[in-house]
Structure 1
Amino acid sequence: MNFLKISFSLAVFFILMTGCTKEEKKNIVNDIKLETNAHQSVYFKALEKYFYSNQPDTTLTEYDVWIKRDPSDSLRKGFVWVDNHYRPYNMVYEKGTFYLTIPPKKTTVPYPNNKEDFISSIDWIDTFLKPEGFTELVSKNNAVIKNIEFKGEPCAGIEIKLPKGKDGRETTQTFIINKKNLFPVYAKLVVKDKGITYTNELDFYDVIFDDVNLDGLKERQKRIIASNPLDPEGGESDVAYEERMLHPGVSAPFFEGKYYGTDKTFKLEDHIGKGVILVDFWYTHCPPCVRAMPALSELYTKYKDKGLKIYGLNSVDNQPRSMDNLNKFLKKRKLSYEVILTQPEVDQAYKIKAYPSMYIIDKKGKVSFVEVGYDKEKFKKVIEHIEKLINE
């Protein structure tokens, strides 16, 4: 079966059957907790799909997941191994530390006391280790639970609407639970924020309980770390920051902003397909951002006639109290490329964790290269990648 061709459309795969009584809802959630706690380990495959409402493309990623309970672990209550087949890299959690191994970069980044999701908030990993948390989530948010049929199997559909955030963000989680093994076959996360909807879907398959070889996984981890040594800077290294960002091959999220100085509207989608694009996330009080500007100006001047576009994206200074400083700052510098004033949600969509951060977007609208920080050696890589794309 080619899982990359699986459709995630709920309309195709399940039919709402009957609503559940209050007692039935309680029983279903309690049964999930009891059945989950009855197993010491689980292995499953997952196929992830995510996209934005203003984006025509989607990204698919396959995962292998191994989970083994460990009551002595105070943070997550277990050992977790996740293989990501898109990058490729593997993620291991053991005794409070999350290890991200990136074979193409020959490095492993350790993150102490890491509580972040492995795949997404609907990946069921922490739910398997601590099912009481899922029970509480369902109870606190008055989840809608219905008996449904999904791919010909009797299932329970659980929809959880989380409280609206202070910024107006709306989040809904949906789980389709197979009634035979009380494990999800499908999950969906929908986040609505400032007019843009982010959707994340997971298909679960090949589920096997109580057959995880923990010793074998730990031996494999030793071999992998021997070939991909630990980064001494850990989660603060440039490699770590880059791995938290959008990865090459995904579609660059569309966004809007205002051209500095003219207040005209800028739309990224208007420029896709017309040349190679470099977007630089920066702000005025960032020394490496400032040091990068002459190099960016020189690069744009050299290759603008070959279709290169460079846009300096600034959301940090795009507020009334900072505009006077921004005006004085830019007046002192003669940039050859455009500055675009954006909103913080653009930085969020591009997963910006440090400044400057640069993305190179190819003519198909895909992220092609990512760089965090600035120095001459790093910028040489940026130039080399742009020259390669321009000459293709």
Structure 2
Amino acid sequence: MKYHFHFFITLVFFGSLLAKDVSAIKIKDVDGKMFTMADHLDNDAIIILFWATWCLPCQKEFPAIQNLIDKYPDKKVKVLAISKDTPRSLAKVKSFIRKHDYDFTWLMDSDGSVSANYMVDVIPHSILADASGKIVYTHTGYRIGDELELEKELLQLWQE
């Protein structure tokens, strides 16, 4: 019984430490400039995509997300693509960005601190947040059609 109580207390404590919003994100972009999420909370929604250049499902997710945000031009959706690539792979990240025309903000989480804060162990990993930065939906992995669930969540968010 004592073990169960300690386990429960530990779960409650660590659960309260998990990030529940994205407004505190401070991270460098691919050019080394500091990006502060609190300065970008003037959107109807925020989508965060954790990815890496070696992650093929991540690369398949990007056009689906771009098509999704293009479908709602009257909505202001901020998409943050946070790369988990190492600093040594920065040239690959920049090359990938140049080859594609996605309307994303490209950020680097080379030290893994942002990923750790949001418990991102597996990529692709997506987070949807409302205009205040509160997380309303998360998803790990990507298969064709997963963007339909994200769209459903977006529409529900915009109705609130």
Structure 2 gap ranges (5+)? none
Q: 1:335 is matched by which residue type in structure 2?
A: Y
Contact 2:53 2:96 in 1 (8 A): yes
2:28 equivalent in structure 1: 258
TM-score with structure 2 length normalisation?
0.82
1:381 positional shift: 0.6
Shift of 1:372: 0.5
Identity across matched positions, percent = 23
In structure 2, the residue matched to 1:268 is 37
Match of 2:131 among 363, 374, 387: 363
Picking from 108, 120, 126, the partner of 1:341 is 108
- TM-score normalized with structure 1 length: 0.36
Structure 1's 66 and 344: CA in aligned 2 closer, same or farther, altered over 3 A?
Answer: closer
Q: Secondary structure at the match of 1:380?
A: helix
Shift of the alpha carbon at 1:120? 4.5
Local SS of the residue matching 2:52: coil
Which residue of structure 1 aligns with residue 67 of structure 2?
298
Matched, 1:391 2:150: no
How much is the aligned-residue C-alpha RMSD, in angstroms? 2.8
> CA separation in 1, counterparts of 2:30 and 2:67?
20
Distance 2:100 2:132 in 1: 32
Task: Find the aligned partners of 1:338 and 1:303 in 2 and give their Cα distance.
Answer: 18
**Which amino acid is the alignment partner of residue 52 of structure 2?**
Y
Distance apart, 1:347 and its partner CA: 0.7
Change over 3 Å in CA distance of 1:340–1:305 after alignment to 2: farther
Aligned residues: 158
Distance of 2:93 and 2:121 partners within structure 1: 21
Asked whether 1:309 is paired with 2:92, we answer no
Greater Rg over alpha carbons, structure: 1
Aligned-residue offset at 1:273: 4.8
The whole-number CA distance in structure 2 between the counterparts of 1:315 and 1:42 is 40
Higher relative contact order (CA 8 A, sep 6+): 2
* Larger proportion of helix: 2
Output aligned runs, 1:181-220, within 5 Å: none
Structure whose residues are more often strand by fraction: 1
The residue aligned with 2:147 is 379
Structure 1 gap ranges (5+): 1-40, 44-64, 68-79, 85-116, 122-198, 201-245
Contact 1:253 1:349 in 2 (8 A): no
4+ residue stretches of structure 1 with deviation over 6 A?
none
Distance 1:345 1:373, change over 3 A: same
Contact 2:122 2:140 in 1 (8 A): yes
